[in-house]
Amino acid sequence: MPGCSKRHQGTDEHGGHGVKYFYLSVAVAVLVTMLAVLFIPGVGDWIEQTMLGYLGRAAR
């Protein structure tokens, strides 16, 4: 169509493979975290303490 910018070759509708790999890495990180919380004692408490400490510092 006239007036529309052309897409670069080798990219998908979301701007390339970089976004796809970013979402894949986030999904893997969430899955690993979930499995660690379920099967390793103390990991859930450590994550909670870390997040509460971060939020406490950010709220000041």
Residues 2-60 pLDDT 10s:
555 555 555 556 567 889 999 999 999 999 999 999 999 999 999 999 999 999 999 98
Quick one: pLDDT at residue 16?
73
Please choose, from the candidates 33, 14, 34, the residue with its C-alpha nearest in 3D space to the C-alpha of residue 22: 14
Specify the residue for token string 């000041």.
Answer: 60
Specify the residue for token string 């493979």.
Answer: 17
User: Domain residues of the chain, as ranges?
Assistant: 17-59
Assigned token pair, 23: 């979402």
Quick one: pLDDT at residue 60?
83
Quick one: pLDDT at residue 37?
94
Residues 5, 40: Cα–Cα separation, whole Å: 51
In the predicted model, is pLDDT for residue 1 greater than 70?
no
